[in-house]
Structure 1
Amino acid sequence: MRHIWRWFGPIDKVTVQDAAQAGARGIVSALHHVPTGTAWTLDEIQKRQAEVRAGGLEWELVESIPVSESIKTQTGDWKAHIEAWKESLRQLAEAGISTVCYNFMPVLDWTRTDLRWETDDGARAMRFDLVDFVAFDVHVLKRPSAAEDYPAALLDAAKQRFAEMSPDKIAAISRNVGAGLPGSSDGYSIDELNVALTRYDGIGAEKLRAHLIDFLAEVAPVAESLNMRLCAHGDDPPWPLLGLPRVLSTEADYVKVLEAVDLNANGVTFCTGSLGARSDNDLPAMIKRLAPRIHFAHLRNVTRETDGLPCSFFEAQHLGGNTDMVAVIAALVSEERRRKAEGREDHVIFMRPDHGQEILEDLTRGAQPGYPAIGRLKGLAELRGIEQALSHAEYGLN
């Protein structure tokens, strides 16, 4: 696999040189300062490339070109936003970048109730506490009909939890849930979040999926003509939130979208953390079945703290959660071998150590939540060790 590292640009407190020293071979980044719905220019792309090269690596993959809420809801300037997306692809191809990760999650991207929860050994990790989330939804956001989405026992637990919350705790959860995508300046206040949710009135999962397919029917042929690959990141967490639909939470979800726009350019970002939050997702088996269209792997682990769906979970050490990471990497290595034997130009799969616990000097660095230096270095070393063992000519996979 091609080991790359998420970098948020000059604002990132983990540098490109840090990434190189950690063992990364390339960078995945984005132009977070460009407004959503606006085409990226070659000049801005080349500026970012120069910034990455100054640290000793190359910008190899985009994560992400944001998909606007207008595209997702097919309202306002959504057609113009799709044209801008296509133009961004053309400019990236001109700059030599061929793979773009994106997501189609409505309103909120990945969602956590705590961005720096302390683990038993003093490390800090991101966490989704289901009771805290329901308390926020029902008692802070006060979303109409929120109570209809949860069983009585969970509502009772959330009511008690809210009664015990300090004003600081309520403010922290509100910030965390309403936070924008890492690296961006986007985010929602309580009032703004309530307004944003109303844009999805009348849009259920089937309609949102249809909008995703419409979007891909426009952009995937452009990517295919440019020899580029698009890869959709799954929902995080992989279930409906705040009454919003989710359309990339299971293997069946992905299959519907891949079959609807049956081009190699229409592919998958296989995130073991997002998909692994569901106990009914068999990740190694999913990789084997989705393998030909997996263009990017986010390797991270989560520990599910409660049973059922939805559930509480936290970001575990890369080899310490519920996911069998050895089996996951074995499936990816096998797919790379199959592609190479088939003669595919894109036989190497991009991989990054996703998220990570804050440990050691990470605890005082103040990097983006989930993206520490040492925690990801440790994860990359562990993941790379597994891959090297499985790829060994004498002792690895046959």
Structure 2
Amino acid sequence: MEQTWRWFGPDDPVKLHEIRQAGATGIVSALHHIRYGEVWSIEEIEARQRIIGADPSLGLRWSVVESLPVAEAIKLGEGDLTQLFDNYRQSLRNLASCGITNICYNFMAMLDWTRTELRRVLPGGATALRYNAEEVAAFDCYILQRPDAEADHRPDVLERARAWMKKASESDKHNLLATIMAGLPGAYERYDVPGMRTMLKRFDGITRDDLRANYKRFLEEVVPTAEELGIRLGVHPDDPPFDVFGLPRIVSTAADIDFIVGAVPSKANGITFCTGAFGAGPANDVPAMAERFAPHIQFAHLRNVLKEPDGSFMEADHLGGDVDVVKVIRTLLAEQARRKGAGEDDWRIPFRPDHGHELLNDGERGTHPGYPMVGRLKGLAELRGVMMAVSAIDHQSR
């Protein structure tokens, strides 16, 4: 499997030579400075490629786009979307003309991944990302004051949410909003509380079925073009894989993936398999999902979570937590071997170590939340070791 690393561009505190030292050769990047819905020009794409390939001795290439964003108007099905669909297709054409054919995107309404703590301290001083159900409820019900929000939260969670509000300072409330927004590391726009209320009003009345219909329309508009270009589109699952702030989630379960790959059947219409995002769903059997949908996996994010009964979860070590990552890796390696045996040109499945703990001097570097240098290096080394061991064992057993 191709070892890749998410890099946020020239301003990323993690440098390209450090990524090579970690063992990755594929760069996962995006043009975050371009407004959602606008065309990614060939000039902009080539400029990023030149930066990535500036030192040929590193052997780096722009392997995966993460993400080519979907404009909110498309998710809403709002107004005349002709230009937005044209722009998305043109961006696909431009990427393909530059040799980039693996595209990750998501269809999460309004927000990307959502957490309430960015630095939960662990034994020894490392820090982790965490989702606390009571803090989400406190924000939803008593800061955002979304109508009827209390009905979406468990009574015990609401009780703890009220207790949190009683002791929270204005600074605590501001920091909670900033933490929720941190899941949009490349977003063009972020929201304050009034802005979130305004945006939520646009989604008011949009049901799960409505969002699914809008997503199906998006697939119908862009997948044929992707197929013509030899592009593989991989949708990232919702994170967390359940409704947040009343926003429906539609890429969260095995049933959701069945709907997606069946909506527009094509090799170009696949998934980015994120073990952490799927792993936060209590009903998701992640290894079984990997095996079931292996032919549709275009890209893999490998990380782990520890779940709690109230819906809270914390990001664990890459090989710790609730998800049997070793079993998932064995499935991915078997699928890659199948593709190679079938003579497919793009048989390699790129993967990256997803969110890592901040370790050692990571906290001093100013990296994006969830994307430390040392923590991800450790995760990549562990994952690489598992892959080598599984490959050796499977080879000996044949």
| Band the TM-score falls in, shorter-chain normalisation | over 0.9
Where does structure 1 differ by over 3 angstroms across 4 or more consecutive aligned residues? 393-398
Q: Which amino acid aligns with 1:16?
A: L
Q: Which amino acid aligns with 2:53?
A: R
**Greater CA drift, 244-253 or 164-173:** 164-173
Matched residue of 2:48: which SS?
Answer: helix
Distance 1:397 1:243, change over 3 A: farther
Give the distance between the partners of 1:268 and 1:368, measured in 2 at CA: 24
CA contact (8 A) 2:34 2:188 kept: no
Q: Does 1:119 align with 2:119?
A: no
Where does 1:1-398 land on structure 2 (aligned, <5 Å)?
Answer: 1-54=1-54, 56=58, 57-179=60-182, 181-304=184-307, 306-307=308-309, 311-392=311-392, 398=398
CA contact (8 A) 2:115 2:180 kept: yes
| TM-superposed deviation, 1:183 | 3.0
CA contact (8 A) 2:35 2:188 kept: no
Distance 1:76 1:184, change over 3 A: same
Query: Which 5+ residue runs of structure 1 have no aligned equivalent?
Result: none
Give the distance between the partners of 1:395 and 1:26, measured in 2 at CA: 26
1:313-334: CA deviations, max 9, x gaps?
A: 1111111211111111011111
Distance 1:204 1:397, change over 3 A: farther
Matched residue of 1:392: which SS?
Answer: helix
Query: Which 5+ residue runs of structure 2 have no aligned equivalent?
Result: none
Identity of aligned residues (%): 47
| TM-superposed deviation, 1:397 | 5.9
Matched residue of 2:43: which SS?
Answer: helix
| TM-superposed deviation, 1:77 | 4.8
**Greater CA drift, 119-128 or 369-378:** 119-128
TM-score by length of 2: 0.96
Distance 1:336 1:90, change over 3 A: same
**Greater CA drift, 197-206 or 183-192:** 183-192
1:325-375: CA deviations, max 9, x gaps?
A: 111101111111122222222221110000100000112111111001110
Give the distance between the partners of 1:209 and 1:239, measured in 2 at CA: 15
Distance 1:329 1:180, change over 3 A: closer
Q: Which amino acid aligns with 2:363?
A: L
TM-score by length of 1: 0.96
CA contact (8 A) 1:180 1:188 kept: no
**Greater CA drift, 249-258 or 111-120:** 111-120
| TM-superposed deviation, 1:149 | 1.2
Distance 1:396 1:85, change over 3 A: farther
Give the distance between the partners of 1:251 and 1:396, measured in 2 at CA: 33
CA contact (8 A) 1:273 1:301 kept: yes
Distance 1:142 1:29, change over 3 A: same
Give the distance between the partners of 1:117 and 1:77, measured in 2 at CA: 44
1:224-273: CA deviations, max 9, x gaps?
A: 00011000000000000000100000011011110110001000000001
Give the distance between the partners of 2:396 and 2:323, measured in 1 at CA: 21
| TM-superposed deviation, 1:301 | 0.7
CA contact (8 A) 1:62 1:100 kept: yes
CA contact (8 A) 1:115 1:125 kept: yes
Q: Which amino acid aligns with 1:52?
A: I
